[in-house]
Amino acid sequence: MSYLTESRKIEILMMIGYGDRARTQCEVVRLFRETHPDLPPLNQGTISKIEAQYREIGHVRKVPSKRLAVVDDDTKLNLLLALKENPITSARQLAHDSNLNHKTVLKILKYEKKRPYKMQAVQELLEDNPDRRCVGFLFPPDLQ
C-alpha cells in the first residue's frame, strides 16, 4: 500500500479518534473514501493493522522487516583466522563454529574478498583411461 504515506496513516488514526469519540472501522473506511475519492478504497484490515501498529510501537512509520546483523571486529577477525588456519573449511562450517548465520558469514567473506571453497574429490585420469582424457586442440593450418 504505497499510497498510504505516514501522514495518511496519521490522518486515519485521527479519524479513528480516542475515548468516547472513537469511530468504528466501518465509519473510518467510509470517511476515508469521502475524504480521498481519488485513492483506492481501504478495507477494515488495513485500518486494524495501522491501529495495532500504533498501539504496539507508538508510531506509524515504516518498520524495517530485516535487521542487519551487527558483527564486531573481533568476530570478523576470528572468522578470518579460522579460515586462514583451515582454508578448505566450508562457509557453513565456519558459521556453525562461530555461532553466526550462514548468510552473515558469506557477507563478511565477500566484504573481505575471500572466496569460500570446499574441496571436492574429482576423478583421477590414469594411463588406461584414454576415453576420459582430452586429446588436445588441433589448430587450423592458418593459425600455426
pLDDT of 21-80, one tens digit each? 889 999 999 999 999 999 998 999 999 999 999 999 888 888 776 666 678 899 999 999
CA distance 51 to 45: 10
21 domain-assigned? yes
3-state class (DSSP) for residue 78: helix
Say how many CA atoms lie within 13 Å of 137 toward its Cβ.
4
Residues 10 and 53 in one domain: yes
122 domain-assigned? no
Of residues 70, 57, 65, 7, the one with CA closest to residue 36? 7
3-state class (DSSP) for residue 20: helix
What pLDDT, on the 0 to 100 scale, is given for residue 123?
A: 64
25 domain-assigned? yes
128 domain-assigned? no
User: Whole-prediction pTM value?
Assistant: 0.46
What pLDDT, on the 0 to 100 scale, is given for residue 66?
A: 65
135 domain-assigned? no
| pLDDT over 50 at 1, yes or no | yes
CA distance 61 to 9: 9
Number of domains in the chain: 2
Segment 78-136, tens digit of pLDDT: 999 998 898 888 889 999 999 999 999 998 988 888 876 655 666 666 676 666 655 55
68 domain-assigned? no
CA distance 73 to 75: 5
Range of the domain at 88: 73-111
